Amino acid sequence: MQSTIRKLAVLCMAAAALAAAAGAQAFQPPWPRDIEVEIVADDGDAFPLYSAGASSRSTTYRAYVEAKRGARYGVRVHNRSNRRVGLVIAVDGRNILSGDKSYLRPSERMYVLDPHEEATYSGWRTGRDRINRFYFTDVDDSYAEAWGDRTAMGVIAVAVFPEREPIVVHRHRERAGAMPAAPAESLGRSAEPGTGFGEEEHSPSSRVKFRPESRPRARIFLKYEWRETLCRKGIARCDHEHRRHNRFWDEPDTHYVPYPPDRREHRHRW
Q: Among 108-117, 152-161, 228-237, where is mean pLDDT lowest?
A: 228-237
Average pLDDT, the chain: 79
Instruction: Write down the pLDDT at residue 24.
Output: 38
Strands 193-202 and 118-121, by their bridges, are unpaired
DSSP lists the bridge partners of residue 63 as 51, 222
For the segment 250-264, the average pLDDT, to the nearest whole number, is 60
pLDDT at 204 over 90: no
Spatial contact of 25 and 40, defined as CB atoms under 8 Å apart? no
Question: Helix, strand, coil: what percent of the chain each, to 5?
Answer: 5, 35, 55
pLDDT at 36 over 90: yes
More confident residue, 25 or 147: 147
pLDDT at 154 over 60: yes
Confidence of residue 182 (pLDDT cuts 50, 70, 90): very low
Q: Who contacts 91 (Cβ-Cβ below 8 Å, separation ≥6)?
A: 75, 124, 134, 143, 144, 155, 156, 157, 195
pLDDT at 188 over 70: no
CA distance 96 to 112: 13
Instruction: Write down the pLDDT at residue 149.
Output: 93
Instruction: Write down the pLDDT at residue 205.
Output: 76
Confidence of residue 30 (pLDDT cuts 50, 70, 90): confident
Spatial contact of 101 and 174, defined as CB atoms under 8 Å apart? no
Spatial contact of 21 and 6, defined as CB atoms under 8 Å apart? yes
pLDDT at 12 over 50: no
Q: Among 81-95, 107-121, 144-158, 201-215, where is mean pLDDT lowest?
A: 201-215
Task: Give the alpha-carbon dihedral of 238, 239, 240, 244, to 10 degrees.
Answer: 90
Confidence of residue 197 (pLDDT cuts 50, 70, 90): very high
CA distance 115 to 117: 5
Task: Return the half-sphere exposure (C-beta side, CA atoms, 13 A cut-off) of residue 122.
Answer: 25
pLDDT at 226 over 90: yes
Residue type, 99: G
Spatial contact of 112 and 17, defined as CB atoms under 8 Å apart? yes
CA distance 81 to 248: 56
- From its phi and psi, is residue 171 left (phi > 0), alpha (psi between -120 and 50) or beta? beta
For the segment 142-154, the average pLDDT, to the nearest whole number, is 94
Instruction: Write down the pLDDT at residue 13.
Output: 40
Buried b (16+ CB within 10 A) or exposed e, 185-222: eebeeeeebbbbbbeeeebebebbbbbbeeebbbbbbb
CA distance 90 to 146: 16
Residue 103: burial class (beta carbons within 10 Å; 0-12, 13-18, 19+): middle
For the segment 187-209, the average pLDDT, to the nearest whole number, is 80
Instruction: Give, for 51, the enclosing helix (H) or strand (E).
Output: strand 49-51
Q: Among 39-48, 50-59, 123-132, 162-171, where is mean pLDDT lowest?
A: 162-171
For the segment 27-52, the average pLDDT, to the nearest whole number, is 89
| Chain centroid, CA 251 distance in Å | 41
Question: Other CB atoms closer than 10 Å to residue 227's CB: what's the count?
Answer: 15
Instruction: Write down the pLDDT at residue 184.
Output: 40
Instruction: Write down the pLDDT at residue 248.
Output: 61
Question: Other CB atoms closer than 10 Å to residue 155's CB: what's the count?
Answer: 18
